[in-house]
Copies of this chain bind each other. A is one copy, B any other.
């Protein structure tokens, strides 16, 4: 079995998050076991990630048909700490943990309003060319946008 090895020190890791986006568990997102279905956190991750990208001035280009790049998910994972239930309000925290040439490692943390962590996650996002499907390097400006939110003490 594997552990969430992307978290070295949970206290330090938690502190590095600035941005969050609130979600509320929809009825249609529960399953017959009476709780949030395990596939839904990835929907929350995508929603919060996009809001994070918007908050740092990105995203616009990727949804514009005229532009030459989109972003894709290269890998994605979620660690479930607690069962989540209908109508719960969660804040989905997002941060850029490290930046590659054309990729960025995004970390996620879902917290109840009372502060309890329900699930965490991470995943690599890659900017690719629509034409070639290959990685398309970030501009320096983009890197700086991510940097603003990155814990520089590491």
Report which A residues bind B (CB closer than 8 A): 1-2, 4-6, 26-28, 30-35, 37-39, 42-43, 46-47, 50, 63, 70, 72-80, 83, 86-87, 98, 100, 103, 105, 122, 124, 133
What CA separation (Å) do A39 and B85 show in the bound complex? 19
Cα–Cα distance between A28 and B43 once the two chains are bound (Å)? 7
A-B contact pairs, 29 of them (CB 8 A): A1-B103, A1-B105, A2-B5, A2-B6, A2-B105, A4-B75, A26-B43, A26-B46, A26-B47, A27-B31, A27-B32, A27-B37, A27-B50, A28-B31, A28-B37, A28-B47, A30-B32, A31-B32, A32-B34, A35-B72, A37-B46, A38-B76, A39-B39, A72-B80, A75-B78, A75-B79, A76-B78, A76-B80, A83-B133
Q: How many copies does the complex hold?
A: 4
A141 to B124, CA, bound (A): 39
Given contacts A1-B105, A32-B33, A73-B80, 6 further A-B contacts (CB under 8 A): A2-B105, A27-B50, A28-B47, A37-B46, A38-B73, A76-B80
